Amino acid sequence: MKKLLICVAFALLVLPFAGIFAVPVFLSPALAACQTSGQLVVSEVPDQLTAVTSDGVSVTLRRAQLTHAATIITVGSGIDGVGRQGVLIALMAALTESTLRMLANAAHPASLDMPNDGVGSDHDSLGLFQMRPTSGWGTVAELMDARYQVRAFFGGPDGPNYPSPAGLLDIAGWQTADPGTAAQAVERSAYPDRYQNYQPVAESIIAALTKPALPGNPNAAPLDNVLETTSVVFPLPTGTWVRASGYGWRDDTMTGGRAFHAGTDYGAADGTPILAVADGVVTWAGPYGLYGQLIVVEHTVDGSRVASAYAHMWESGVRVSVGERVTAGQHIGDVGASGKSQGAHLHFEIRPGGSFEPSVDAEGWLAEHGAAGVDAATSGTSACLSSAAG
């Protein structure tokens, strides 16, 4: 959480204060990188996966092996400092040592009666990473527990056997080392060069089992899983709004200069319900510089990604959270005047391609997609509300 707050503060300081007028990039790549760096979320475990090693050998992994891979990804992503690189190294190590199987060993007869995927014979080594009780990695029962072995491999101050044997987090410079070299630093194998061979397979596992996580919410719906919307609607209830300012160049009433307005402003009474324009997933819900309280929703419309943004709510007017799935017409917020605003209104943006792409004329987009709820009788510029800049 501390890292997230630092990233947010950094983004708000470095983003242009022309903000909502100079074609802003809400959820800037720098901010997204801060929030999602290294974070992986397992979306599904397939029945099998075939990949090819560096030396050209085809490897087919079954569901039980991929379930152990999912455990490595999930446990690793929950440990501060591991990130994607650490998960990749752990997968390479487990693939090399056991082909992602929980192996018992006759040297420890008790292990044969514990859940296992087969019997190994390398000294008294056990489990996914072939850890040895006699080397201090843990008891037989502990090492036959996949989650324990993963935690032991990653190590660190909160690892089960800190400071020795050393896990990945206990090894200086592992982040910039060759992944195979980093795996060997933990495993200390007599065959140090073999781990690198499995990097392509480990990469394939990560690609097949995970989706990018949403900012700030590791349990959120993956952005690759935004379903096609069932309908498109206007963002305010019929009869509650007037058009205060359109998309494009205009005179900024707060600065007196010419500025580009990246959205469309709709004047409405304080507290008027704001509606999601389509089914989607919330990717931002909270303060964002001159936007004030902002909600961003990612949608799939006609097979393409689209982001919608709703700005200037009061803090109490944000009714959804990051990662939440919403439906077209759902009440997601209330009109307010936070941020750069001279009166209660909704600043609304549409960005085909997603949050990182340029905005377009929202009114034209809504008309093109047959948005339900457009109130032609009340649309048009209102002199009394034209000062609602934002």
pLDDT by residue, tens only, the chain of 390 residues: 444 444 434 333 333 222 333 333 344 333 333 333 346 778 789 999 999 999 999 999 999 999 999 999 999 988 989 988 999 999 999 999 999 999 999 999 999 999 999 999 999 999 999 999 999 999 999 999 999 999 999 999 999 999 999 999 999 999 889 999 999 999 999 888 899 999 999 999 988 888 654 444 444 555 656 889 999 999 999 999 999 888 888 776 666 677 778 899 999 999 999 999 999 998 888 888 788 899 999 999 999 999 999 999 998 999 998 888 899 999 999 999 998 888 999 999 999 988 767 889 999 999 999 998 765 444 444 333 333 446
Global pTM reads 0.52
**Rounded Cα gap, residues 176 and 377, in angstroms:** 62
Phi-psi region of 217 (alpha: psi -120 to 50; beta: other; left: phi over 0): beta
Contact in structure between 296 and 344 (CB atoms under 8 Å): no
Q: Residue 165: is the preceding peptide bond cis (ω within 30°)?
A: yes
| pLDDT number for residue 324 | 87
Count of H-run helices and E-run strands, the chain: 9, 17
Helix (H) / strand (E) containing 206: helix 199-209
**Rounded Cα gap, residues 90 and 82, in angstroms:** 10
Take residue 175 and report the two structure tokens written for it.
């982040």
**Rounded Cα gap, residues 17 and 232, in angstroms:** 31
**Domain formed by 241-369, architecture:** Distorted Sandwich (2.70)
Take residue 144 and report the two structure tokens written for it.
């036959």
**Rounded Cα gap, residues 360 and 283, in angstroms:** 19
Q: Residue 163: is the preceding peptide bond cis (ω within 30°)?
A: yes
Residue 169 is classified by DSSP as G
| pLDDT number for residue 16 | 28
Take residue 110 and report the two structure tokens written for it.
């008790």
What is the domain partition of the chain in residue ranges?
Answer: 48-209, 241-369
Contact in structure between 228 and 280 (CB atoms under 8 Å): no
Contact in structure between 276 and 297 (CB atoms under 8 Å): yes
The phi and psi torsions of 137 (rounded to 5 degrees) equal -75, -25
Contact in structure between 27 and 215 (CB atoms under 8 Å): yes
Helix (H) / strand (E) containing 13: helix 2-14
Helix (H) / strand (E) containing 305: strand 304-313
What secondary structure does DSSP assign to 149-198, as a single string?
HHHHHH-STTSTTTTSS--GGGSTTGGGS-HHHHHHHHH--S-TTSGGGG
Count other Cβ atoms within 10 Å, centred on residue 33: 12
The phi and psi torsions of 230 (rounded to 5 degrees) equal -85, -20
Take residue 55 and report the two structure tokens written for it.
């030396």
**Rounded Cα gap, residues 33 and 255, in angstroms:** 32
